[in-house]
Structure 1
Amino acid sequence: MTFRPSIKRAATRVVAAVAALACAFSLAGCGEDEAGKIRIGIKFDQPGLGFKKSGTYVGFDVDVAKYIAKELGYSEDEIIWKEAPSKQREAMIQNGDVDMILATYSITDERKKAVSFAGPYFVAGQDLLVRDDDHSINGPEDLDGKRLCSVTGSTSAKTVKEKFASEVQLMEQPGYAECATALFSGIVDAVTTDDIILAGLASASRGKLRVVGKPFTQEYYGVGIKKGDVRLAARINAAIEDMIQDGAWQRAIEDNTKGTSYQPNAKYNPPEPTEGEA
């Protein structure tokens, strides 16, 4: 039997409507190419952590995410990477846009009202990035009269305002690449944020910038997941423990901070991943 064009069009619309309805109720999310895959949110613009480079994704967060995905039964080509800007992370998890997020995502009580966490898989500390030939700043005690750069609205900028407001001049920029440029050109004396982010910037600078190595806060990086999913949290925590025990965690740190003298704070790292479990 041959359908007339108008009937064909009607049939096509019905099929499309059914597909859209099925997609709306699917836990895997919309898009046929996402079936049987895992969707992981990362940063696309943080060297050494989550960085999109010529269509590939590299960094410590990426390496941890790949290890977790493998332990959950997914190969690398079954991972769909999604950009997870800081302000959108909770909404992405709540809306089901991603299955998990690894994007320098600090575990806080406020965030735990909206999402759950597994981990931590790393404990960072706010530190300082300076030019390699500048030895006038060796820790936060040397900031009096100095010019600092951090990202607008970041926890790091807030900390500077709370702890060092009377001592420093703070320039706020939309991203750390802009802060690094200001540091290169001498507009500021130091950049401040989590030490592992600074280590990534130092590595990308090819020896022109260095991390001071005197962290003055603790930031516990977790894997953001749907609120209340204790089973997934336990499986992710087990994967992180395996990564630490078999040496892959340490190799990932070293690979992503090459060319720097950066070492994670041994007092807190590697951490014990217990967050989110019942």
Structure 2
Amino acid sequence: MKTWKKLLTVLSATALTSLVALAPATALAEDALPAQVQAIKDAGVLKVGVKEDVPGFGYFSPDTNEHEGFEIDLARKIAEEITGSADNIEFTGVTAKTRGPLLDNGEVDMIIATFTITEERKETYNFTDPYYTDEVGFLVKTDAGYSDLASLAGKNIGVSQTSTTQAKIEEEGAKDDLTFNFSEYATYPELKAALTANRIDAFAVDKSILAGYVDDQTSILEFGFAPQEYGVTTKLDNTELNDYLNDLLDKWEEDGTLADMKATHGLE
């Protein structure tokens, strides 16, 4: 009997030791991150390219010296998920022209900057599923009398450099043989200033962006076209990171996190 008790004691001790040894490995497996995500965690900071001139999405406030907007909140949420803190983040201001090159040269890990998903761009970059969908619109002087696309035929339309806006307007206008003149500007404040100074007849971009530039002399025309879907953008070979981000967006779409962030900034 003593022999059996001793044997059972030894076996129990062995089993317990095995379980203790296995526990860290199991925990490690559950917490394991894809290599491309782990690299960001190891660096201790998430580097994100964001807009600084789009109220509601990405804006750098001169009053607070802080970045604010829906896309800023989204970037911080991702940083918290990867690094453990929403403060472990480094923002770099981008424009439609500079966001691609900054991603290409590795200065940022990702772009969250009203970057419209297109089939052509998918050949160069990875895009997540859309986190926001908008449409192209026009900001005009309220007393100018414009009402639809036909009323802008032959007028000078201001657009952002390298954006998809001009091509979408030309495509829409071609349906009715409408043609337009275009002027490109580097930033949205420059476009608004050009409209104010009558150097352009209309400022064209996605409606939610235009909303941040409406004043008592301007208004956004009611009609819109060409749905614009925004995605978080990474390098083409960062497939693991892209898949990880898609999983996060899916989770936050389902639990209402994205809807809450949009509502906070009036983007329902």
Q: Do these two structures clear the TM 0.5 threshold for a shared fold by scoring above it?
A: yes
Per-residue CA deviation, residues 155-208 of structure 1 (Å, 9 max, x unaligned), is 213333455485444333332212212333444442111122112223xx4x54
Deviation at 1:57, TM superposition (A): 0.6
Could you say what secondary structure the match of 1:120 adopts? coil
> Matched residues in 2 for 1:173 and 1:196: separation?
18
Moved more, 238-247 or 94-103: 238-247
For residue 65 of structure 1, the aligned residue among 55, 67, 75 is: 75
> Matched residues in 1 for 2:144 and 2:204: separation?
16
Per-residue CA deviation, residues 101-133 of structure 1 (Å, 9 max, x unaligned), is 1111122233223321212111221111124x4
Structure 2 match to 1:252: 261
In the alignment, is residue 127 of structure 1 matched against residue 105 of structure 2?
A: no
Report the residue type matching 2:100 in the other structure. E
Structure 1: runs of 5 or more not aligned = 1-25, 258-262, 265-278
Could you say what secondary structure the match of 1:217 adopts? strand
> Matched residues in 2 for 1:134 and 1:256: separation?
29
> Matched residues in 2 for 1:243 and 1:208: separation?
38
> Matched residues in 1 for 2:194 and 2:166: separation?
16
For residue 196 of structure 1, the aligned residue among 182, 191, 208 is: 208
Does the aligned pair in 2 maintain the 1:67–1:243 contact within 8 Å? Answer: no
Task: Call closer, same or farther: CA 1:171–1:41 in 2, change over 3 Å.
Answer: closer
Question: TM-score, normalised to structure 2's length?
Answer: 0.70
Task: Call closer, same or farther: CA 1:187–1:85 in 2, change over 3 Å.
Answer: closer
> Matched residues in 1 for 2:134 and 2:58: separation?
15
Does the aligned pair in 2 maintain the 1:67–1:239 contact within 8 Å? Answer: no
Report the residue type matching 1:118 in the other structure. T
For residue 166 of structure 2, the aligned residue among 138, 157, 164 is: 157
| Higher normalized helix content (fraction of residues) | 2
Between Structure 1 and Structure 2, how many residues are aligned?
226
Per-residue CA deviation, residues 10-41 of structure 1 (Å, 9 max, x unaligned), is xxxxxxxxxxxxxxxx9559xxxx93111111
Report the residue type matching 1:106 in the other structure. T
Report the residue type matching 1:93 in the other structure. L
Counterpart mapping for 1:5-154 below 5 A: 35-54=43-62, 55-131=65-141, 133-134=142-143, 136-154=145-163
For residue 231 of structure 1, the aligned residue among 220, 240, 245 is: 240
Task: Mark the structure with the bigger radius of gyration.
Answer: 2
Task: Call closer, same or farther: CA 1:146–1:251 in 2, change over 3 Å.
Answer: farther
In the alignment, is residue 218 of structure 1 matched against residue 227 of structure 2?
A: yes
In the alignment, is residue 240 of structure 1 matched against residue 249 of structure 2?
A: yes
Structure 2: runs of 5 or more not aligned = 1-37
> Matched residues in 2 for 1:169 and 1:219: separation?
22
Identical counterparts, % of pairs: 30
> Matched residues in 1 for 2:105 and 2:198: separation?
43
Task: Call closer, same or farther: CA 1:95–1:178 in 2, change over 3 Å.
Answer: closer
> Matched residues in 2 for 1:145 and 1:243: separation?
44
Task: Call closer, same or farther: CA 1:168–1:102 in 2, change over 3 Å.
Answer: same
Report the residue type matching 1:184 in the other structure. T
Per-residue CA deviation, residues 197-238 of structure 1 (Å, 9 max, x unaligned), is 112223xx4x54332242211222111113243332233123
> Matched residues in 2 for 1:156 and 1:233: separation?
26
Report the residue type matching 2:186 in the other structure. P
Task: Call closer, same or farther: CA 1:98–1:174 in 2, change over 3 Å.
Answer: closer
Question: TM-score, normalised to structure 1's length?
Answer: 0.68
